[in-house]
Chains A and B, each alone.
Chain A
Amino acid sequence: MNRKIEITSDSPREECGVIAVSSPADDVAQLAFFGLFALQHRGQEAAGIAVSDGRQARLHKDVGLVGHVFTQATLAPLVGNHAIGHNRYSTTGVSGARNAQPFLVETMNGPLAVAHNGNLVNAAELRDELLGKGFGLTASSDSEVMTLMLASAGGTTWEDRLERTLSSWRGAYSLVVLAADRVIAVRDPWGFRPLSVGRLPQGGYAIASETCALRTLDCTEISEVAPGEIVTAQGSTLTRRQAIAPAVKQARCTFEFVYFSRPDSQWDDRSVHLVRQRLGEELARESPVDADVVVPVPDSSIPAAVGYSRVSGIEYNDGFIKNRYIGRTFIEPTQSMRQRGVAMKFNALSENLAGKRVVLIDDSIVRGTTAGPLVKLLRSAGAIEVHMRITCPPIMHPCHFGVDMGHDNDLIAARMTPDELQEFIGCDSIAFLSLEAMMRAVGRTEGYCNSCFTGDYPIEITKRHSKFLFDQVLA
């Protein structure tokens, strides 16, 4: 099995992005394409779009970036007024086209396609139930399980079937569904992952994981799909209904603010970019240090570095220039190759670093594999001191709600104390942002899931399921 490994980033990997479009104008496939493009950062492994023309649905999906998977030739046959799309990174199942989404099946109530962002914690039980009923499965992700459960649910409309099935799903899901004549979106009652809806300028509606995609499509009247809400778009009609009671204690993923979402997205009435700046400001208040320059790890840590600089008074400057087009490479995963991988992605600007004491701002540390090489790069460029400042608390527990942090053993902060970490990375000091300060930057005291920091999970995790369990049967 070829296993592609992202070796140039240590941040937690986002699972997926979803988009849905329903419009009386007939370029929905193009709209879905541009929406996925804006959500590329949420998953770079595979992309897919399914379109329905009122009777029939057509699908195209493959591994690769959105721009590679979709060309004039592959978009042309996708004709219709309703579309859903998906960008994938895997949390369950091996990478590969088989697990790419959306899943499209033919049911007795017409075509059904499903695309999912999130993770069900009881997927293993649901899977076993389906297999027990005689269903055959072709893929190894819980998204296929959800599709088959929907297809076999009782009810007169797809919204009914969704409503009846929702209560058996425990976990995070921002889901978009394509039926013959509509698109439907639903968000889990805890609100883990984002999902918003907006009105298209030419009539019709779009639903996407992040508002940046909706704004790329020039949407107005943007609002969140509420936790537990089912939103249906049929051309120029939008209907919304509360299908399941929302959780009293909500569990939005704080990481969306720390790292995943694009800075131009809005969530929970907050601008991601502004929250990141505030993270940097809080970090400066909590963990100041004497230094000459503040540099970010581009691009995600730039706003935080700006905020750190503003509060600390230390000059902000670029320390690294990123090679944007390095993409993914097929490389053997040795330690030296990983380190060379970092060097291939970044160059350090000695003109801004030589002879200086540097504060290096990074959004998070997961495996701790890239921090060391980055610090080395700075020192080779002439930095005399490197102080690492991280815009979130140490990640000590795995996420079960849609973020790939690897196994427990991968989480370096769970294995090492801050002092050991400092030595391992090779910096002069390291400080993480406290939980209280992080939530202050977000601007909320409750309604957020911080289980990867605290171990306090909003949903009880009863069974650990192996990511590769499913792949043991089908090669």
Chain B
Amino acid sequence: MTASSSLTVLIVGSGAREHALATSIQKSPRCKRLLVTPGNGGTPGERFGIAADNVVELVALCVDQKVDLAVVGPETSLAAGIADELAKAGIRCFGPNMRAAQLETSKSYAREVAALLGIPGPRYATFGAGEFASAIRWWKNLGTEVVIKQSGLAGGKGVFVPQSEEETAAAIEECLALSETVIEERLHGIECSLISFCDGHASVPLPLAQDHKRIGEGDTGLNTGGMGAYAPINVGLGLSELNAQFVQPVIAHLESSHIPYMGMLYAGLMITKDGPRLLEFNCRFGDPETQVLLPLLDSDLLDIMMSCVDGKLQASDVKVRTLHALGVVVACDTYPAASSRGAPILSAANSTSSAPVFHGGTDVLDNRLVTNGGRIFTCVGVGESLSEARTLAYQNAAAVQFSGAYFRRDIGWRSIGASITSYSATGVDIDEGTRAVNLMKASIETTTTAQVLRGVGAFGGALDVSFLKEFDEPVLVASTDGVGTKVELAARTGRVRGTGIDIVNHCINDVLVQRATPLFFLDYLASSHVDAERVAAVVDGMSYACAAAGCVLLGGETAEMPGVYVDGAFDIAGTLVGVAERRNLLPRSDIARGDMLIGVASNGPHTNGYSLLRKVFEWIPLEATPHPLKRNLADTLLEPHRNYLPVLAKALDTECVKALVHITGGGLPDNIPRVLPAGVDAEVVLGSWPMPPLFQLVRQLTTMEDVELYRTLNMGIGMVIIVHPSDAAKVRDAIDEPTWIIGNLTSGTQRVNLR
């Protein structure tokens, strides 16, 4: 054998597999001339029109054109004995001879060899054509689901996987009517393809690939030759171990039987929970596995094949790039039942070296590319990650244009699950959540009272309310709230404890205005990513505020929601239940024209208007203290919402309070009307209370009309008390801080007028 540097190579076949083989071989500097027959509309090289199973003419062509190496793709050619005939004519052929090819052509032979060599496989039995009764009996006896395989070649399609007993019986009958049939126990697990180069006594594997045999998405529908593939697939077992278990013993056995196997040996494996099992052998390159494996090959394919032909294959000959490849088959929409011939192909996408498009069923008719088969193209992507390879492959699959084009959109879908070993891979850390709960326990316990029967950690909090019997007419008052986009400021500055105080106080005030006292509080805290310390800080704020109001923190939910919240973001919502004596419920029914409005100061925006505030101060660092602020922006904006319970307790006890209004979202104009009876308006005198510096600044900075501004921010008033004019002084005295008469009620239509 000379180390010939200019070889004439013939590739036999017409599919995308042969296109991939041709592309790889053409890259070799040793390939001087490339011939393909019958080829297709995209195969490079010189094209001849001899059919793949026309052995006589193929041999004549090889002799005529002085072919140095014939590479045979389809199993039909190999089964027809092309390797033997070429050998007789003195032409080198890469592919097993007829006897060796029996591993594929006779399923029973394959099973016998495997059994002989102790290669693990499913339990099986072979039945001759017509042996219906014994077949049915054996199947019933086995007691498991089965797979039924016709023993001859069926282009990869003579395999039936029945879904019910009826289907099984029908399939057995159908197959036995045609030929010898193998019935096998059905295995469950991950299916993959092990394809190895063989030179008669040694074998070297290519990376494991996974095929997609079904026509439909989700692996449903009829069996096909393959609708897509990707490699490598990680099944937790070493490639050389698998080769040593499934391929090498067969090669050695055949050699010693004087039927040396030279070519590609394909072992279809099922990785079950009991270990790998052999499903079948094929004696050729797989389709579409070849299309994804060859782009991963770093070595010269022609060199490898020549080494095999010369019987000198070594493991070091086969070098593989550490990349991923994924291939999508674009078929005609009648496949696998029928093929498409002669339909014009408007676009064959854009084939590049990292996204090659291999032609399968195409041809050139009248200088136009047309369809000529079932599976028309294989679009492959190669990348550093399987995700990248997938994107490239699908870009081209979508760009292919011909009438009735179909491809599966889910090639490789099982690979994601295979790489998830724990929930944390999806971004949810249950352990961290548990740690957060443990950190919280201490602060939550500060709110516990004797009434708490079950608290944190229970499915639902339980509170003993038998004290309600001491009420004449107990009324439960409940409120649920959030704190608005103040959470974004808190997350940004890292000062989150205040939001816990905010949510509780907001809710306390909401029940206070009906003259209810808080009983218990429940919270929901969600973030993109649970940070135990952060969660604990928020809950600490909640506990502090609850304890200050004599309210029990009875329970809460901490949710980790990656992808729902942006990175670093969190949100809280709270529900507070209070109790009131019915006769004390506010607002009272005697609100009337002439009543006065007493304003109680807020200590900041509380929990409303933050979208405006964040926008207005978007370009100034929060450490700044612009005039006329007395403290920096962060401190000013993050000041927690006041708890008015202690402030107004004595005022309420005067029994002179007709109504309380909590100034929250909507400001004075939208909250006061909630207590106004029909026929009454409220008139608020702007300037009748001092506007705190923050609100002055915002007013200067925006061009909003006052009406709009006062609806967005509380502008300095957190609570409004409605009293009879004669009671105003008494109520004001009962409040231990400055208050202001900010307006009164007039006749009108339940609206607020700002003057």
Contact = CB atoms under 8 A, between A and B. Distances in A.
B739 interface: no
A248 interface: yes
A244 B369 contact: no
B345 interface: yes
Contacts of A246: 346, 368
A244 B367 contact: no
A244 B364 contact: no
Contacts of A248: 41, 364, 367-369
Contacts of B370: 245
Contacts of A247: 367-368
B41 A245 contact: no
Interface residues of A, number: 12
A228 B41 CA distance: 18
A142 B124 CA distance: 73
A245 B364 contact: no
Nearest to A249: B367
Contacts of B364: 248
B46 to A, nearest CB: 14
A298 B367 CA distance: 39
B41 A244 contact: no
A190 B370 CA distance: 16
Interface centre among B345, B346, B370 (most CB of A within 10 A): B346
A242 B401 contact: yes
Contact of B346 (A190, A245, A249, A458): A245
Contacts of B41: 248
A335 B401 CA distance: 57
A391 to B, nearest CB: 29
A280 B345 CA distance: 40
Contacts of B401: 242
A445 to B, nearest CB: 13
Interface in B219-276: none
A242 B367 contact: no
Contacts of B369: 245, 248
Interface string A225-247: 00010000000000000111111
Nearest to B368: A245
Contacts of A244: 344, 346
A248 B346 CA distance: 11
B346 to A, nearest CB: 4
Contacts of A242: 346-347, 401
A224 to B, nearest CB: 15
B166 to A, nearest CB: 46
B346 A228 contact: yes
Interface in B556-576: none
Nearest to B362: A248
Interface residues of B, number: 11
Contacts of B345: 245
A247 B370 CA distance: 11
A369 to B, nearest CB: 36
A111 B284 CA distance: 62
Interface string B25-52: 0000000000000000100000000000
Contacts of A189: 368
Nearest to A243: B346
A189 B41 CA distance: 17
A154 to B, nearest CB: 19
Nearest to B346: A242
A189 B364 CA distance: 14
Contacts of A228: 346
A189 B369 CA distance: 12
A242 B400 CA distance: 11
A245 B344 CA distance: 6
B308 to A, nearest CB: 34
A308 B399 CA distance: 44
A119 B37 CA distance: 37
A244 B370 CA distance: 11
Interface centre among A228, A244, A246, A248 (most CB of B within 10 A): A248
B205 to A, nearest CB: 38
Interface in A243-265: 243-249
A247 B348 CA distance: 12
Interface string B192-213: 0000000000000000000000
Interface string B360-402: 0000100111100000000000000000000000000000010
Interface centre among B41, B344, B364, B370 (most CB of A within 10 A): B344
A27 to B, nearest CB: 36
Nearest to B401: A242
B617 to A, nearest CB: 38
Contacts of B367: 190, 247-249, 458
B650 to A, nearest CB: 70
A189 B366 CA distance: 12
A244 B41 CA distance: 17
Interface centre among B347, B370, B401 (most CB of A within 10 A): B347
A189 B344 CA distance: 12
Contacts of A249: 367
A232 B686 CA distance: 61
A248 to B, nearest CB: 5
A362 B41 CA distance: 41
Interface in B341-366: 344-347, 364
A189 to B, nearest CB: 8
Contacts of A245: 344-346, 368-370
A244 B367 CA distance: 12
Contacts of A458: 367
Nearest to B347: A242
Nearest to A226: B347
Nearest to A251: B367
A458 B367 CA distance: 9
A19 B369 CA distance: 30
A244 B369 CA distance: 11
A246 B367 CA distance: 9
Interface in A134-191: 189-190
B41 to A, nearest CB: 7
Contacts of B347: 242
A242 B399 CA distance: 11
Contacts of A243: 346
A242 B401 CA distance: 9
Contacts of B344: 244-245
A246 B370 CA distance: 11
A46 B347 CA distance: 38
Nearest to B365: A248
Nearest to B364: A248
B26 to A, nearest CB: 15
A245 B366 CA distance: 11
Interface centre among B41, B364, B368, B370 (most CB of A within 10 A): B368
A248 B369 CA distance: 6
A272 B347 CA distance: 28
A247 B346 CA distance: 10
A153 B18 CA distance: 43
Nearest to B370: A245
B260 to A, nearest CB: 42
Contacts of A190: 367
A458 B368 CA distance: 12
A465 to B, nearest CB: 22
Interface string B333-347: 000000000001111
A248 B368 CA distance: 5
Interface string B655-671: 00000000000000000
B578 to A, nearest CB: 60
A245 B347 CA distance: 7
- 7 cross-chain pairs, A with B, having the tightest CB-CB distances, nearest first: A245-B344, A242-B346, A247-B367, A245-B368, A248-B364, A245-B346, A242-B347
7 contacts: A189-B368, A242-B346, A243-B346, A245-B344, A246-B346, A248-B367, A248-B369
Interface of A: 189-190, 228, 242-249, 458
Given A190-B367, A248-B368, A458-B367, 8 more contacts: A228-B346, A242-B346, A244-B344, A244-B346, A245-B344, A245-B369, A248-B41, A248-B367
Interface of B: 41, 344-347, 364, 367-370, 401
